[in-house]
Every structure is written in C-alpha cells, then in structure tokens.
A and B are shown apart, each in its own frame.
Chain A
C-alpha cells in the first residue's frame, strides 16, 4: 500500500474515530460559572485534534500525490455485484480534502468560543457540547468519505451519514422553536432527492456490474441507461446541494448554530452534490439531456437565490440564499462542461463562505440578534470582523483580485464559450442560459453584498444599548486565517500545478473527456472580463446610491412591490406546502384514520367477536344438570338410531 493510499484511507477514518469516541462522552452538565466541565474540555480536545489530524493528512496527501492512485478491497460480494472498500485519489481529492479539513478545523475551534455562555445569552447553551463536537467530527468524516471513496455504495454511506448529521446539528439549539422543524425539513427534503440518488447508483452499478467508480466510468453504458441514471443522480444532487426545486431546506437550516451553517455551506453538505457530479462528469458528458436539465436547474437556482437574497433582513438568510446562488454557478459550470471551473469555484466558495459565516457568527455573538435592521455602525466597534467581512463579500461578489473573481470568471468564460462557440458537451442554448443568468447574477450578487455590508457595518447603530466588540481570540483567529485563502486562493489559479490537479486524470476516462475538456488554464484574463466587472460596479453602485440617499433606510426598499415576493423566495415554500406538504399530511391523516378504524377495528373487532362467541359457547356449556342429561341421552339415542338405520341398510 503506497503512502498516498494510506493517507487517503486514513483521511475519513481519523475524524470518524474522533466522532464515535466523542459520542460516548456524557453531555456536560449545565454550568453557570466560567469553569468548564471536564467532558467539555475533552470533547473540545477530541474534535480539534480530529480535525487537525485530518488537515495534516490532507496536506500530506496533497504533497505526496502525483497522478492517480487507487486501491480497493472487496467488502461484500452480492451474487454478481461486488461492493468494495476503496479509495480513489487524485489532485481534486487532495484539494477538496484540504478544504474540508481546513473548514472543519476552523469550525471546531470557532465553536469552542461560539457555543458558550455569551454576553447576551440568558441561558447556558453549551451543556450539550460533547455530542455537538462529535457530530461535527462525524459530519467531516462523512464528507471526507464521499471525497475519497472509490465505490458508489461507500459514497452513498457517507452521503447518508451527512444527511443524518445535518439533521442532528441543525436541531442542536433546542431553545429555538423553529430548529426541530427546520431539521426535519432538511432531512425530509434531502431524503426525497436521496431516493433518486440511490436509484441512480443502483442503475449504474447494475449496468456496469460493479460499484467501483473506475469500473462505472470505464463501462460502455447504453444511452438510455446513462441518461436515466444521470437524471436520477441529479435528483440527489439537487437535494444535497440545495438546487431548485429542492432548495427550500437550506434557508430554514439557518436555525442551526452559525458554525454549523458555515460547515454545511462551505465544506460539506452542499459541496457534496457538486463534487459528485464533477467526480462522475465523464458520465454526464455523454448524457446531454442530463446536462441540459442541470443547466436549466442551475440557471433557475442561481437567479432565484440571488433575488431572494436581496430582500432578506436576516443576516444568515442572506448568506444562505447567496450559497444557493453560488452553488448555481458551480452546477452551471458543470452543465456547460467545465468541471474544473466548478471545482475551482467550489474551493474558493468554501473559503469565502466559511469566512462570511464565521464573521456573521461573530456579529451575531456581539449583537445578540440576526436581524440586520437592528445592526448598523459596527465598523468602528468590530474592525477585525468588518475587514474580514469585506474580504468575504468582495470575493462573493467577484471583486478582483479576490478569489471569487477568478473562479466566477472561469465559470462565466466556460459558459460564454459554450454559448458562442458551442464548446463543451451541451447545446448552445444551455450555454446561453447559464451565461446570461450568470451575468445577471453578478450584478444582483454585487447589489446584495453591498447592501449587507452597508446595513450591518456602516451607518448609525440601531441598537445603542449593546456594546459590540470583536470576538475573543478563539473565534477571531479562525476568521482571520480563513480570510487569507478567501482573498488569495484565486491567484493560485495561475499556478500550473494547481490547475493540473483540478483537471480530470486522463487515464481514468480514456481519450474522450480529457480531450474534449477545455484545455485552457483556469484563469482567463481577456476583454470578456470587463463585462462582469461592469455589471459588478453597476450592482454595487445602485445599492450604494440608494444608501447614500437614505442612510437609515433599507436599499431593499427600491425593490418596491417585488420585495415581499423576494423575501419569501418567490413563495416557493408556499407552493411546496400546497403541493407536497398538505397532500402528504392529508394522506398521513387518512392513513392514520384507516389504521385506527379499519386495522385496529379489525383487530379489536375480531377480539370482541371471539370473546362474544366464546361467551356464547360457554353459556351453552354451562347447562344445568337436567339439560345436560337430556343432551347426553338424546345424543346417545341419535347415535343409536343412526347406527341401527345404517346397519339395517347395510
């Protein structure tokens, strides 16, 4: 077993062990004084050590790996179908692994400060810290399993464990009334997609006769099978990556603790869908229908998320909708046949979205609310947080030379090529759709990023009673360190080694995809860059101009009558409620009634019938002596009569 394989196999195992051990810890008792319970200290040590070890392993893997390395051991042999335990490592795996482990480490460190008795918390919130830290470790392990897995079944295991962990973590804060409902919603909505994902995996595995990704990719699938499997996989991707129409869980998931939002949005859950599509991209490349569907889905999601983000008053919900929108960019890049652009954006997005969420957590920690209408003027009291947020929002909007600029430009370039030159694997109209949606999204993103900055940090303070301050060191340092890649990761796109690692490894897919993929480097600096830049300036300028006129007002007021529509995300939740939830609850009620009336009725009815029948028979048996004697003698007479008659006849 070579060193990279060993490192890759250990990558998910280390946080898994940390998480499983952490689950055995007792929940720390409620404490009001500053002293920390031993269980909490141990949980902190375990979580941080697990994440740090993963990061070290991922970095070592990045350093040692060249080319493709894979290894697998047969796990289960199911009569013709073999399930293997295996890792499949290439440059992409190493990079995504580093990103996941880094964000996880930042979240683990940050949580120790965030989930603590804060100045504005009147209730101790950290008494369940050990399970929380363990679940974060498990979450990380599951994502890393998805990243390194060489087997679709193994990948599915990680995929499902992520769904479970997201459910547990979103519902962590039991004080919030909406948290359990949000967790349930996230779980159910992603489950809907997971059904499709499971079926798609089954279809691919049965078609290829193996669940190994290498075998699946190398097998010649029939077109119909491939299209069906890819569309089914897309359902799961839509669920996990919060793509339209299964995106509704993500904004509600903001009920979870802010570090969890950072983890879900930056590194684990939503990235998994994009990553899986990129991993299996050679299959999608042969299924233009699936790519077209993906393109439409991406465009709709991109604009939907961006417009919904413009009208939110909740700081975290703005970021949540921006995640939906940015994932739309990634899936759009996949749809136009540029997986490395998608992965590049995935990495930069992981950096700047984690940064933004952790900074937002610092703000919430300091102000004690998530509503922007009660913030404002935080620039002077929280300078570190302010500048980190500026970096993050700049990267989000695509401001050069921050990371988001380069990665988003890569996406737009690929879409432009597909639209104008017919490059890639999809029809030109998909390219046009993604490109135009992406350009419009740039302007809208700039608008809402500017609004967020202005509303939160500039202007006058709207809650004069509290004394905001920069967070303690344990929360400040993760934010500061994440600001570095958020700012500079884009420049890595110029490095040939970085770009080469994101490109699919040729031997895995024979000659086809690697030749058809755009051979250009990740970063494309040309005149076309000016167009998104102009749109960026336009969007940001509009928001700025509106704010200049009315410093206390909300720039979202310019939306006019559209504002409530955007604030409720085009009322898709209502649509979902009407189309899915209400029929489902009605069906459940009907089922319950049927169960209670028909099934239970049959059971209790048969019981009562047996009881009544038994009582009747018992009453018949309880004859008085003369009646019994009469019965016996009459029976004897009848038997004798029968014997005589039959004997006489014989």
Chain B
C-alpha cells in the first residue's frame, strides 16, 4: 500500500459515495451538487494517475460547464426547491440491472488484476498529450470539431421552435403574435412556453 493507493481508495470512496447520492437523493438541485463532488473526486483520481491535462479538463469542462448547464436545466424546468416524491420509478429492475452491471464489471476487473502493482508512466502533461493529439490523432480531433459544430447547430434549432416552419406559418405567426394557427398541438404549447 503506497500513498497513491491510499489516495486512490479515499477518492474512489468519495466518488462512489457521492455517485450513490446522485442517483438516490430526492432533491433535484442536490443531485447536481453531489455530481460536482463525484466528478471532482474522479478528477482527483486522474491526478493521482498522473493524467494532469485530463484532470484539469475534467474540472473545467465537466464541473465548470456541464454541471452548470445541468443546473440551469433544473432551474428552467421549474424544479421544486425541496424534496420531490415523484422522481423515481419502481426500483427493483433498476437495482437488479445496475447492481448486476456494476458488480459484474467489478468482479471481472478484480479477477483480471488481483492485487498486482504497476509502475506509473510518464505524466500526461499538456505538452505530451498535445504532441500525441496533433501527431497521431489529428483526424479524430478534426472530426470531433465538426461534431461539436453539428451539436451546436442542433441545439440551437431544437431550442428555437420558429425555425423550420413554412414561411406562411411564420408570416401568420408574426402577424398575430404568439398564436400560430398552422401547427396543431405542438405550436400553441410552444408559444406558451416562450411567453413564459
């Protein structure tokens, strides 16, 4: 048991514990906050595993951006501040499948590595990782940039319901503000949502 192992155990316990709370808590906002703790603990594990760049990216993007986005979503969907009773569905199939998956994978990995020990490789600094990305993984990197662009455009289109409708509808819509006539079912509630 080296110091790294102790750190790993501690951070792993924090990560798993806060993960349990993420999926078990009755408070929506608290689930987001527990997720911050969990992701932070995972970032710590990355640091211990000498993956510096990944760890900081984790903190920046996950903790900084993704979780904030999730919390925004919680707010925008008018989540109640207190505990909610209708968050969960009947639990036993989820417990069976989730427990089976987690424990099964754990058993496989324990069986594969036992209590063996490995030497840590050279640290994954920004220089080394950047070197790899722009030498060996350029094409996936560029494809990912296109994917990000597509996701950006998709998110914008999804969140703006007045895009992609027939021009006549749009004209009618702009003429009589907020009460589109052409769309059945979907549009009026969308208008409601926007007016709110």
Query: Complex: how many Å from CA A640 to CA B108?
Result: 11
Taking CB atoms, residues of chain A closer than 8 Å to B104 are 637, 640-641, 644
Query: Complex: how many Å from CA A149 to CA B94?
Result: 91
Query: Complex: how many Å from CA A644 to CA B106?
Result: 12
Q: What is the minimal beta-carbon distance from B114 to any residue of chain A, in angstroms?
A: 15
B97 near A630: Cβ-Cβ < 8 Å: yes
B97 near A626: Cβ-Cβ < 8 Å: no
CB 8 Å contact bits of A552-580 with B (1 = contact, 0 = none): 00000000000000000000000000000
Name the prevailing secondary structure of the B interface residues: helix
Query: Complex: how many Å from CA A634 to CA B101?
Result: 9
Q: What is the minimal beta-carbon distance from B101 to any residue of chain A, in angstroms?
A: 5
Given A637-B100, A637-B101, A644-B108 contact (CB < 8 Å): yes
A630 near B100: Cβ-Cβ < 8 Å: no
Q: What is the minimal beta-carbon distance from A57 to any residue of chain B, in angstroms?
A: 84
Chain B residues touching A, range: under 10
B97 near A634: Cβ-Cβ < 8 Å: yes
Query: Complex: how many Å from CA A641 to CA B108?
Result: 10
Query: Complex: how many Å from CA A637 to CA B96?
Result: 10
Would you call A610 an interface residue if the criterion is a C-beta within 8 Å of the partner chain's C-beta atoms?
A: no
Would you call A602 an interface residue if the criterion is a C-beta within 8 Å of the partner chain's C-beta atoms?
A: no
Would you call A481 an interface residue if the criterion is a C-beta within 8 Å of the partner chain's C-beta atoms?
A: no
User: For chain B residues 78-107, which have a beta carbon within 8 Å of chain A?
Assistant: 89, 93-94, 97, 100-101, 104
Taking CB atoms, residues of chain A closer than 8 Å to B108 are 644
Taking CB atoms, residues of chain B closer than 8 Å to A634 are 93, 97
Q: What is the minimal beta-carbon distance from B168 to any residue of chain A, in angstroms?
A: 34
A633 near B97: Cβ-Cβ < 8 Å: yes
B89 near A637: Cβ-Cβ < 8 Å: no
Closest B residue to A641 by CB, please name it: B104
Query: Complex: how many Å from CA A357 to CA B122?
Result: 126
Q: What is the minimal beta-carbon distance from A635 to any residue of chain B, in angstroms?
A: 10
Name the prevailing secondary structure of the A interface residues: helix
CB 8 Å contact bits of A615-650 with B (1 = contact, 0 = none): 000000000001000100110110011001000000
Chain A residues touching B, range: under 10
Q: What is the minimal beta-carbon distance from B112 to any residue of chain A, in angstroms?
A: 11
Taking CB atoms, residues of chain A closer than 8 Å to B97 are 630, 633-634, 637
Taking CB atoms, residues of chain A closer than 8 Å to B101 are 633, 636-637, 640
Taking CB atoms, residues of chain B closer than 8 Å to A637 are 97, 100-101, 104
Closest B residue to A638 by CB, please name it: B100
Tell which of A636, A637, A640, A644 has the most Cβ of chain B within 10 Å: A637
Closest A residue to B94 by CB, please name it: A630
Closest A residue to B89 by CB, please name it: A626
Taking CB atoms, residues of chain B closer than 8 Å to A640 are 101, 104
Query: Complex: how many Å from CA A626 to CA B94?
Result: 10
Query: Complex: how many Å from CA A44 to CA B75?
Result: 101
Query: Complex: how many Å from CA A634 to CA B97?
Result: 6
Query: Complex: how many Å from CA A326 to CA B100?
Result: 101
Query: Complex: how many Å from CA A633 to CA B100?
Result: 10
Q: What is the minimal beta-carbon distance from A633 to any residue of chain B, in angstroms?
A: 5
Closest A residue to B105 by CB, please name it: A640
Query: Complex: how many Å from CA A540 to CA B53?
Result: 137
Query: Complex: how many Å from CA A594 to CA B195?
Result: 68
User: For chain B residues 94-130, which have a beta carbon within 8 Å of chain A?
Assistant: 94, 97, 100-101, 104, 108
Q: What is the minimal beta-carbon distance from A11 to any residue of chain B, in angstroms?
A: 82
Query: Complex: how many Å from CA A139 to CA B93?
Result: 86
Taking CB atoms, residues of chain B closer than 8 Å to A636 are 101
Taking CB atoms, residues of chain A closer than 8 Å to B89 are 626
Q: What is the minimal beta-carbon distance from A631 to any residue of chain B, in angstroms?
A: 10
Q: What is the minimal beta-carbon distance from A613 to any residue of chain B, in angstroms?
A: 26
Query: Complex: how many Å from CA A626 to CA B97?
Result: 13
Query: Complex: how many Å from CA A233 to CA B25?
Result: 99
Query: Complex: how many Å from CA A496 to CA B117?
Result: 135
Taking CB atoms, residues of chain B closer than 8 Å to A630 are 93-94, 97
Taking CB atoms, residues of chain B closer than 8 Å to A641 are 100, 104
Listed in ascending order, the chain B residues whose CB lies under 8 Å from chain A are 89, 93-94, 97, 100-101, 104, 108
**Given contact pairs A630-B97, A637-B101, a sample of 10 additional A-B residue pairs in the complex whose CB atoms are under 8 Å apart:** A630-B93, A630-B94, A634-B93, A636-B101, A637-B97, A637-B104, A640-B101, A641-B100, A644-B104, A644-B108
Can you give 9 contacting A-B residue pairs, CB < 8 Å? Answer: A626-B89, A630-B94, A630-B97, A633-B97, A634-B97, A636-B101, A637-B97, A640-B101, A641-B104
Listed in ascending order, the chain A residues whose CB lies under 8 Å from chain B are 626, 630, 633-634, 636-637, 640-641, 644
**Top 10 nearest A-B pairs by Cβ distance?**
A634-B97, A637-B100, A633-B97, A637-B101, A630-B93, A637-B97, A626-B89, A644-B108, A641-B104, A630-B97
